[in-house]
Structure 1
């Protein structure tokens, strides 16, 4: 089973939300979790790009990764 690290501020907001039932931090939690999810997706695409068995799979993963990172086509190699 994999572990996921989150920023301390997000962890504290999750504690406040669940243990103290402070609903005012729901937007902060949502933004933090979305940011973490995007980071994890980018990491998976990068790992897939580096470890793909065929050249066409590597190229497809590379393009997906660069699209996700927001790199413009004119700046790519």
Structure 2
């Protein structure tokens, strides 16, 4: 019996400004929530927001933040200079 193919991760990339934080954060997280629901992924909106804020805390330059979500709800965040 073969196992179902793993579902590809979902991701979203956002702009970070040191003065204003992540641009349109709630809009991005709402979009990711809709995509997660459609794909049958677990997603914790509150935890994602907290993780993104922690990942960008103290940054003093513009950057991009990429959140990757697995089907289990596990998240990885990558922050790179803009």
Q: TM-score of the superposition, structure 1-length normalised? A: 0.30
Structure exhibiting the larger radius of gyration computed from Cα positions: 1
Higher relative CO (CA 8 A, sep ≥ 6), structure 1 or 2? 2
Structure with more of its chain in strand, by fraction? 2
Q: TM-score of the superposition, structure 2-length normalised? A: 0.29
